[in-house]
Structure 1
Amino acid sequence: MEGVREIRRGTLQEQTFYEQVGGEETFRRLVHRFYEGVAEDPLLRPMYPEEDLGPAEERLTLFLIQYWGGPTTYSDNRGHPRLRMRHAPFTVDRAAHDAWLKHMRVAVEELGLSEEHEQTLWNYLTYAAASMVNAPG
């Protein structure tokens, strides 16, 4: 078979998690649903000083897209994520952690991902939420 090249193992790039779960649309749906919960939450809503949650929604969407292998728009616009530093001005205690995860759980479940993808995403989100806790209680 002259002219046919063998494709060596490992030369084809695997899809990123971002691509596997549906790309930008999936992350936009996730974060939009999450902020619908935040908008009504008496504990979390005051942590967002902007009247419009749209900018916060966009920042989280772009961060998650980048984290999971999509475009680097977040870092291109905002630099290194520095999540703990960016959350330091806010009191993030166990109650805020739990409220954040409650709204994120609803959003994740509504995506209808495969069990494996949902578990991968949820594992990261629970780790991230725990990492942001900066106050007792």
Structure 2
Amino acid sequence: MNDIRRGTLSEETFFDTVGGEPTFRRLVHLFYQGVAEDELLRPMYPEGDLGPAEERLALFLMQYWGGPRTYSEERGHPRLRMRHVPFRVDRAAHDAWLKHMRTAVDGLDLPAEAEQQLWDYLTYAAASMINTAG
């Protein structure tokens, strides 16, 4: 959707299209509900409470999709691969991560095109985090 704001052409972002912050917070909350019970993934989150990890992922995804830049303001450049180096991310971790993310995406009830766009990014991101053979 295009409109004129303050004399400039503005385009609605994916963030806006899918419902903004509430949608991304729901996605990430649903995802971490699965992670909390996952024997493979849970140990990758050393904090006793998954809340800080949930907040970081929500802020990152909101920024990535055109929302507030809070993630970069608080944490700097995302540097996703570097931030994941301390963790063993193999094909099994990749698959487990995507399993929980698939459940979370399905819980959003997005329009098909938006769901596919989000899922394409998530599968790409998960594959790019693999840092261990196996």
TM-score, normalised on structure 1?
Answer: 0.92
Q: Distance in 1 between matches of 2:108 and 2:29?
A: 11
Which residue, 117, 121, 124 being the options, matches 2:118? 121
Q: Which has the higher strand share?
A: 2
Q: Tell me the secondary structure at the aligned position of residue 10 of structure 2.
A: coil
Length, aligned pairs only: 128
Query: Over aligned residue pairs, what C-alpha RMSD do you find?
Result: 0.8
| 2:111 is the counterpart of 1:109 | no
Distance in 1, Cα, partners of 2:77 & 2:11? 25
* Map of 1:49 onto structure 2: 46
Q: Which runs of 5+ in 2 are unaligned?
A: none
Distance 1:105 1:133 in 2: 18
1:19 to 10, 16, 37: 16
Structure 1, unpaired ranges of 5+: 1-6
Distance 1:50 1:71 in 2: 25
Identical aligned residues as a percent: 77
After TM superposition, where is structure 1 displaced by more than 3 Å over at least 4 residues in a row? none
- Whether 1:28 and 2:25 are equivalent positions in the alignment is yes
Q: TM-score, normalised by structure 2?
A: 0.94
